[in-house]
Structure 1
Amino acid sequence: MSDQDKELQDEGLETARRMKEEEELGLRRVQGWQRYIVPAVALCWSLFQLSLSSWLILDSTYIRAIHLAFALIIVFLSYPTLRRDVKIPGLRWLGEKHTIPAADYLVAILGALAALYIVIDYNGLAARIGQPNLRDLVIGTFLVLILLDAARRVIGPALPIIAGLFTFYAFFGPYMPEFLAFRGVSLARYIGQISLTTEGIFGIPLDVSARIVFLFVLFGALLERAGAGRFFIDLAMSLLGRYKGGPAKAAVLASGLTGLVSGSSIANVVTTGTFTIPMMKKVGYPAYKAAAIEVAVSTNGQLMPPVMGAAAFIIAEYVNIPYLEVCKAAAVPAFASYMALFFIVHLEASKLGMKGIPQIDLPRFFFTLVNGWQYLLPIFVLLYELIIPRHSPDLAAFRSILLLAAIMLFQHAVGRKKHGITFGEGIKRGFLDIVAGLIAGARNMVSVAVATASAGIVVGVVTMGLGGLITAVIDTLSMGNLGLMLFITAAACMILGMGLPTTANYIVMASLTAPALVTIAGWQGFEVPLIAAHLFVFYFGILADDTPPVGLAAYAAAAIAKSDPIRTGLQGFMYDIRTAVLPFMFIFNTDMLLLGIDSIPLAFYIFAMTCVGMFAFASATMGWFAVRNRWYEYPLLIAVAALMFRPGFFAAYLGIDNHYLSYLVGLALWGAIYALQRLRTGFGNKQTPLAA
């Protein structure tokens, strides 16, 4: 690599890291004594959350309020009022990024007090339910405004605009056209429900954020700080790097492992893409395709149980089913999607005539495993706690964090000879790593806490009586057609997802459309389980992370690869089309969600056949299977995908009583297409690769 290429690569890595830091840590880079303020607040927040899982017992409302107060303090101290610099004398503090202005200290304190008001006057508010006094109205209104400003600073204008439109509609509903008319609400009822009860800002999403999500985000931050990210990459490279398109396959595996505990697409891109994108380019992937593969696998990390970008826990609360049932329902689509990604990168490597990396240039598997097995131990403990004794998610995460902290405390001391340090210095390094991880975990949680609280405004307005009206409007727009309604919902999720984090997008769309999907399908005599409707919304919200023109994950990957971000996003979306198909399929084939299926062999059978369907669909969209497809093979591959995705629908036409046997027809057709293509090449001659 030339010095110029190395300089460009380093510049791209730095740009991607800066994007990640701005998304998670804020825009301000303060110096002097001020640089300790936000880390101190973040550390206190993490210790408070850990206390809740061990010895501290508080009312749920208190927990939500304190959780939000911490988030608001960090937001106003980390993010300036305006992202751009302000040149107007006297107003430069609005865009100040190198110091914290006095105005932001004041807003941070007032915002925290407004969030804590429901705790400070808990008994008084309980006595005045439905009849707030003037002080309640003033502080409640201020909380709504300050929260929307915090969301604007952290997330951007999309969520505040949506919440503002719903608020406007709540007050001016009586003046809308007849088919949109709503009886409207008074200021007292609006503030009472949104700011002073647990039906709005302090609702279920914020409760889940405070009780569960924080601990999982903290676990992920500590794992990354411990060095697990590089371990996952080295382990994946040692296993898959020598195969055709090896670095891309390693990226899929590494991002899948990272996605188990990470809730951020852009964090996955920067963590794994820093290593995998240059290696993909080295073996022959064009820059935009290398970046697009990383975007696709990192975005899909949010589909992976047990965290699912924090949505798994909120889905469990909304649908009122055990958390493990959510993980069970999400398992087949998530793992099938990842298997299809493996297949896609293999097809790309085949099309481009690639080879793997020489074994001598790869990490050694056993050496890598022996030197990093300790990073797998907390993950195994987490999964064990969730699956075997079935402890609550927060308790499972807490115990895993304790084990991980112990590992971090001693890992430098154990390897002190390699680093040339004393035992005491090793313990000190480990302790500092733990503190840095606690700070990073809290700062990573800011966007989730603010997003869930702000989305609660929309949820609160909907619960004031808009639910039935929204169902009627969606029914009118879709003309009662379930398929059209699914397309409208998918498009709305993707459009909103361009400006909202995944969790906030899910909360907003789930409160608006998930019940409507179930209700309207019921009117047509078709049963859609509520969990299927919620997962449908969730999947399409995730796809927005790599959808141009906004997808931040695509911009981060493009910065690392030095490729065009729009082209990268479009290619990443093409790879993710197979993910877009899945939600439509599990709406009509709930076997994919393992609903009512308790047989483990049957579950694996369904998973394997779903994978075959995904492979066939991927071959059709990529134009390649064993070799380049001919025109008549495209409909055959689509037919295989259809049979695997809707076996019950085709069973009647095939005269098969047991619809699980329909899978075998699709499997036979898939095998026949493969044999036909291999015959075309004489089972030995390789087709000429396509040009990059």
Structure 2
Amino acid sequence: MSELAESDPDTTNTAISEEALRKAEQYIEEEEGAANHMSGWLGIFLSTVAIVMSLFHMYAAYAIVPTQVLRPVHVGFVLFLSFLMFPVARRFRHRIMWWDWLVALLSIAIVVYLIMGGDDFTDRNTLPNAWDIFFGVALILLVLEAMRRTIGWILPAISICFLLYAFLGAYLPHPWTHKGYDIGRVVGFMYMTLEGIYGVAVDVSSSLIILFTIFGAFLQFSGAGKFYIDFSFSAMGGKPAGAGRTVVLASFLLGGPSGSGVATTVTLGTVAWPMLAKVGYERNAAGGLLAAGGLGAIISPPVMGAAAFIIAEFLKISYLDVLLMAVIPTALFYLALFLMVEIDVRKYGMGQTIIKKVDTVWNLTRHYWFHFLSLISIVVFMMWGFSPVLSVFWATVVSFLTSFLRPDTAMVSHDLFRGKGSISKHIFQSPLIQALKAGSVGMLSVGATCAGAGIIVGVVTLTGLGLKFSGIVIDYAGGSLLLTAIYTALVVWVIGLAVPVTASYIICAVITAPALIKLGVPDFAAHMFIFYYAVLSEVSPPTALSPFAASAITGGDPYKTTMQCWKYTIPAFLVPFIFVLDPSGQGLLLMGSTKALAAANGWEIVQVTLTAAAGIFALAVGFQGWLLVRATFIERAMLIVAGFALVYPGPVSNMLGFALVLLALAFHWRRRALPAPAAGSPGQ
């Protein structure tokens, strides 16, 4: 038991110091950028621009705004606000310098020049004139600088390497060589077409990601986030595993609408850490569990991470299809977490301490049921036939209207309608205005990342790098699908060490997915495989932002917390191999489309799901080393081998896996009456 657990329960509420919260905020800033906090007329101006940006995109969701206008205007907003809200260096923070105004105005001029050029502008993309090249080069440089300010220097450096590859292709050795392109051709492709910077990633950012960010902000400022945490505490409290279960359930409810791993980890951690300490979680183990729960935010419907929207665009399928593909893998991920926390209770003797419920589930649901309506309305609208864009638009409207059902959740104070107080104060200081502002500001780093990813995708498309790279990977793997999948996972993981999830997915989708597809893996399975391993970047040093943020809250060691997070999540992250290595494994994705559904029936889907669940169970017990009592080395080895065998699809490997599980459980059951060793603390 940790020291905090032994202290008075009331004192645990003060365990999170201001310093810990400040450190946690720093990790959020590393993911979303260290923004300026302006007051006075500058603060009002920036807030107004952010609100106008949100209103423009909500208008574009309902009305018809041409693609060749929407994407550049979106990038223009992102660049303008990024240069004014994110300083060129930390020593200039909280003030706007003259050069910030210069590049911000230049970003507007670039968009105005493009839109005023009309069809003539796009028609001369292969032979741009001097002004085209000037504004195109300026756009590329501004995108690189906006990325540097919002997410750091690594992705801009990678983008520069790709640009050099486009320019210097003729001087590279085989098989990387290509004819090379001059600056006019590169600029024409990147700036003057919808294939480069204004390509797929910006299309998704301008039409979907920002709308979901606004929707998440509406939920936050209407009190939905607080309700989800309170609901989880009430639903899972009163049981020995209540603390761990609460973290798992709350992370799902919070993460679904937010799609941000770090934000979910910090929001939940500030509330849940004292509770975890009280029942006996050691600092690093508690941080690992909180980070693992935050990681689930990126793969949890209905919002998932920004990369999920790009999957739909790359595959030319509906976003509802992506949500369906994520249902079973998400359920398996949370099954792994639930198994881990259940084992923790037995392993560390947590049954003596039970978290009391603050309120009943019935009372909370009776008063705030409409927050669930806001959450599920997106899927309901999609099932009614609305497009994803219109679905999230109307879901945001539902969230706004239902907030008025209670005075404490209303996004505009009820006093306004009663004629009490100043109208301007009620409007400009209302949660509605705060949500509109947060919706735009919260996606600036993602918008800059998507624009930068357009540079990378543009180079890959222009040079054919994706096909070259896939050929190299297949050659190294000797044509083996298993080795190709392992190499692909390693490539995605290595790239994810340095860049955020969205950028990692986009880069790998264009350079590694073709290798899997060449070997017969359906495109939707290949992209989901890459997506899940890109998500690992959230918990992989040196960019393990979720565990680092969790460790700042719990006071644990960042790297030990990261290893604890891996312990909680690794069983679930072997699941993607199932839907890549064998056609039957694609049942975990519900096959992704009606064409593919003809290849499998319901029983096959149930069978592969149960097999995957058994594999997760075996790996969870094997990695934890405990079930009813401490597992022996032989039992652990058998279960870990069984888990890997069940993850590898095929009748022989599955039979071996089930046989090893049954044998290990039989050995374990025989020893259940033996006295257990003294309990320790999680992570020790």
SS of alignment partner, residue 307 of structure 1: coil
CA–CA separation in structure 1 for the residues paired with 2:577 and 2:354:
41
> What's the counterpart of residue 399 of structure 1?
394
Greater Cα shift, 673-682 or 447-456: 673-682
> What's the counterpart of residue 475 of structure 1?
474
> What's the counterpart of residue 195 of structure 1?
191
> What's the counterpart of residue 645 of structure 1?
647
Is the aligned partner of 1:557 residue 2:550?
yes
Q: CA deviation at 1:4?
A: 10
> What's the counterpart of residue 90 of structure 1?
none
Asked whether the equivalents of residues 114 and 121 of structure 2 are also in contact (C-alpha less than 8 Å), the reply is yes
Q: CA deviation at 1:230?
A: 1.6
Amino acid at match of 2:542: P
The alpha-carbon distance between structure 1 residues 263 and 208, as it changes in their structure 2 partners (threshold 3 A), is same
Amino acid at match of 1:491: L
CA–CA separation in structure 2 for the residues paired with 1:3 and 1:37:
43
Q: CA deviation at 1:129?
A: 3.3
> What's the counterpart of residue 252 of structure 2?
256
> What's the counterpart of residue 28 of structure 2?
20
SS of alignment partner, residue 258 of structure 2: coil
Q: Could you tell me which of 44, 52, 76 is aligned with 2:83?
A: 76
> What's the counterpart of residue 60 of structure 1?
67
> What's the counterpart of residue 453 of structure 2?
455
Amino acid at match of 1:636: M
Amino acid at match of 2:151: I
Is the aligned partner of 1:435 residue 2:430?
no
Q: CA deviation at 1:75?
A: 0.5
CA–CA separation in structure 2 for the residues paired with 1:424 and 1:25:
40
SS of alignment partner, residue 336 of structure 2: helix
Unpaired stretches in structure 1, ≥5 consecutive residues: 86-95, 522-526, 652-661
Asked whether the equivalents of residues 236 and 246 of structure 2 are also in contact (C-alpha less than 8 Å), the reply is yes
Q: Could you tell me which of 265, 268, 277 is aligned with 1:272?
A: 268
Asked whether the equivalents of residues 244 and 354 of structure 1 are also in contact (C-alpha less than 8 Å), the reply is yes
Is the aligned partner of 1:295 residue 2:303?
no
CA–CA separation in structure 2 for the residues paired with 1:429 and 1:358:
44
Asked whether the equivalents of residues 291 and 561 of structure 1 are also in contact (C-alpha less than 8 Å), the reply is yes
Asked whether the equivalents of residues 409 and 434 of structure 1 are also in contact (C-alpha less than 8 Å), the reply is no
Amino acid at match of 2:38: V
Amino acid at match of 2:155: L
CA–CA separation in structure 2 for the residues paired with 1:135 and 1:552:
42
CA deviation vs aligned residue, 1:15-45 (integer Å, no higher than 9, x gap): 3235435643633122322112221111001
> What's the counterpart of residue 668 of structure 2?
677
- Structure 1 length normalisation: TM-score? 0.89
SS of alignment partner, residue 261 of structure 1: helix
SS of alignment partner, residue 57 of structure 1: coil
CA–CA separation in structure 2 for the residues paired with 1:415 and 1:132:
53
RMSD of aligned C-alpha atoms?
A: 2.8
Write the mapping of 1:57-456 to structure 2, written as runs, cut at 5 A.
57-83=64-90, 85=91, 96-355=92-351, 358=354, 360-386=356-382, 388-412=383-407, 428=426, 432-456=430-454
CA–CA separation in structure 2 for the residues paired with 1:422 and 1:398:
25
Is the aligned partner of 1:496 residue 2:505?
no
CA–CA separation in structure 2 for the residues paired with 1:432 and 1:257:
25
Asked whether the equivalents of residues 312 and 326 of structure 1 are also in contact (C-alpha less than 8 Å), the reply is yes
Asked whether the equivalents of residues 33 and 151 of structure 2 are also in contact (C-alpha less than 8 Å), the reply is no
CA–CA separation in structure 1 for the residues paired with 2:441 and 2:409:
29
Is the aligned partner of 1:572 residue 2:565?
yes
Write the mapping of 1:465-614 to structure 2, written as runs, cut at 5 A.
465-519=464-518, 521=519, 527-588=520-581, 589-595=585-591, 596-597=596-597, 603-614=605-616
Greater Cα shift, 628-637 or 591-600: 591-600
SS of alignment partner, residue 556 of structure 2: coil
Amino acid at match of 1:6: T
- Structure 2 length normalisation: TM-score? 0.90
Unpaired stretches in structure 2, ≥5 consecutive residues: 1-7
The alpha-carbon distance between structure 1 residues 497 and 424, as it changes in their structure 2 partners (threshold 3 A), is farther
Greater Cα shift, 5-14 or 232-241: 5-14
The alpha-carbon distance between structure 1 residues 109 and 557, as it changes in their structure 2 partners (threshold 3 A), is same
The alpha-carbon distance between structure 1 residues 340 and 5, as it changes in their structure 2 partners (threshold 3 A), is closer
Is the aligned partner of 1:615 residue 2:608?
no
> What's the counterpart of residue 4 of structure 2?
none
CA–CA separation in structure 2 for the residues paired with 1:534 and 1:394:
22
Q: CA deviation at 1:459?
A: 0.5
Asked whether the equivalents of residues 496 and 534 of structure 2 are also in contact (C-alpha less than 8 Å), the reply is yes
Q: CA deviation at 1:320?
A: 2.2
CA deviation vs aligned residue, 1:517-557 (integer Å, no higher than 9, x gap): 222x2xxxxx2111111112111111111112321111211
Greater Cα shift, 420-429 or 329-338: 420-429
CA deviation vs aligned residue, 1:149-178 (integer Å, no higher than 9, x gap): 000111111111111001101111111123
Q: CA deviation at 1:357?
A: 5.4
CA deviation vs aligned residue, 1:484-526 (integer Å, no higher than 9, x gap): 333332222222223322111111110111112222x2xxxxx
CA–CA separation in structure 2 for the residues paired with 1:569 and 1:504:
21
